[in-house]
Structure 1
Amino acid sequence: WAVLGAARVELGRRLADPASYPRAENALRTSLKLRPERNAAALRGLAALANARRDFVAARKWGEAARKLEPKRWTTYPLLIEACAGLGDHEAVGRMLDRLTKLRSDPAVMAHTAAVYRDRGWREDAAAQLADAAAAAVDPAERAAYVERAGQLAWERGDLRDALWHFQEAVRLDPDQRAAQAGQGRVLAALGRTTEALSAYRVALEKQPRPEYALELGELYASVGMPEAAKVQYDVLRERVRKAAAHGVDEDLVLGRFEADHGDPRAAVRRLRAEWEQHPSTEVADALGWALHRAGEHEEALDFAVRATEGERGGGVRSALYAFHRGMIERALAEYGAARRHLREAMQLNPHFSPLGAREARAALARLGEPPVEAGADIS
């Protein structure tokens, strides 16, 4: 029963099918009922299920219970790393990673290490870990997953050619690598190959209907002057979020991001405040700050934007989107020097980070112009 439950969790993740999760929970709880004592396998399965549902509090609880029973079972630690990251507990993430790497060194552990390094802003170290993981992986699907993550890193640093190669290679290794197909859509759109980008997104969304893919596809349609097609994708997003909620999955983060830009910003603020109370992570801080800005609450917005972008506040990720959000908030507060600095940072990190956002960032920088020269300053 524990193995069956864990398999159903993985199936739900791979297919973006939340209907698998209630069946997974039933199997895992049946396992615990049949063996209520020392059933670490079922506890790990419940931790994985809670992570998949974005219930990081429960994931940490179940993961810690499994770790207490089997402290040297390495497979527990990636579950705890994911849960602690979702809760914004970066110190705990570091402790769990240290314990994981002492227990095992293989491609899967390298990939988990890369994810932690990426969140700390150590992009080159993360890329090296993923390259080693892909080289050491034996199974083509496993290798494809690591190559796809390397593509994501290349995309985040604005290296379109490298990102596209990685995404295409991931799909070659595993034709079911939907994240890589969505990644191709992202890069092809940035390269101006819009028809190919739309096709790649449609394939990814058809086979793995994640709401964030629908949001990205909708924004791509909007960026090329197709508002009705964009609205169709936004409706798909809402439907996927409703379906996910019916099966216990929390998609308030992506829904809040959507509402902030394309719906009701105040509704986004309410939704994301609740999300922050439960899961005070860097990505939620960024989303809440942006929603507050869109709702006209610029002062409070800046505090969350700082949390998302300052390493000492937990925001170690080098994200063009986060820098853009902070710059726009600072511009609204007439902090023009800081706004100019962060908007430039966004464009330096990845000038193609969003088909709509990058365009807005360029326009804002043009309006800000160059900093004024103080009287008497040496401009030679």
Structure 2
Amino acid sequence: MKSNRHFWVALMAAALMITALTACGGTPAAPTPVPPTPTPAPSPTLSAGDHIDLGADYMDQGQIEDAIAEFEEAIRLDPDNALAHFNLGVAYQYQGKLDQAIAEYQEAISIDPDYAEAHNNLGIAYDDQGKPDEAIAEYQEAIRINPDYALAHYNLALAYYAQGKPDEAIAAYKEVIRVDPDSADAHYNLGITYYDQGKLDEAIAAWQEAIRIEPEDSMAHNNLGRAYFDQGRLDEAITELEEAIELDPDNAQAHFNLGLVYRELNQVNEAIAEFETYLELIPSDSPNRAVVERTIAELEEQVEAQQAEYVNAEGGYSLRYPEGWHYAERGAEVMFVESEEDLDVVIEEAPLIMFAAGPLTELAENLGLTEITDLAEVLEAGAAALDGEAGEIETGEIDGYPAALTDISGSYRGSPYEGSLAIV
């Protein structure tokens, strides 16, 4: 939730008149008289408006104490100047002096009851004091005075959200967008509120609009990616999360969410890398640390299992599961991958698609073979079990074990595939 609330110094246009004095005269007669010593012009007297402008300049420079002195002088000169009280309230609020700020905003309102900005800032001060009901009342009053006051609608939405009133918050954010359609913050927070309600389509639409307005908002891309993940749209999730990380490599949440996507895809090593980056970026005392560390440990055990070598004395064969190997589908006896790239990589390192580890005699029996004359028969039976056809079968050795390899294509459980079968 982007909760930065805005308050500012209202400036009063008051120009300081500078008078230039010029001497005029004709040709002097001789002898030239000595001119009298000129009387210095009196220093111009500053008005309340002048002091307000000076105070505003000091505020811009971060010189809050000097600004306060100017606003106080403006009030001394003009006690009923609502703008001076308002700006003094802003200065106090910058210093965290909420009681003094509230008193000045209230004074400004007593002078000008329809001062919408003063009601809005008073609401912010109440919010900061933990008085949400009083804050909401002030935001509502500001909106009553000026229905198109986008900032008051925005602050009202934040207050409703903090109170656990999502429907009211949504209505207020929509009012912000009505007045200011390009408010990226309003679209962003609207998306969060929808997401909290489980309305993923609405959240996605809101974050897409926020990104349209501010394409380089890393957190908006992160949130959109997480919503896509929740909908099972994994490719789109990866695109958004990678963009979030490209924009902000230190976006810990994006690394975590990308880890979730990779884990779902069974890309274990990629998932571990993202979770480890997440741990590097979060505070050492984060309550999430222990959970993510356990997740990494579980994934590392999974990698070890995939890399484990099985040697069976009775059947005399070995199975290896290469690091980073993931499957699009799993069959009862065999496994196959989804891309030629996976095939090329794994053929160089270990069997790509292989029968489940176990005695070769049991595997043959499961495939309907009463006896085994050569490994080619096992591959042909395996292809048939996958509703596929084996291509040319190559035989040889892998790490000293008899091995056979063949291309296979077919349609397994309604899913067309191409791949390779191997047995060692």
Q: TM-score, normalised by structure 2?
A: 0.42
Q: With a CA cutoff of 8 Å and minimum separation of 6, indicate the structure with the bigger relative contact order.
A: 1
Q: Name the larger-Rg structure.
A: 2
TM-score (norm 1): 0.46
Instruction: Answer 1 or 2: which has greater strand percent.
Output: 2
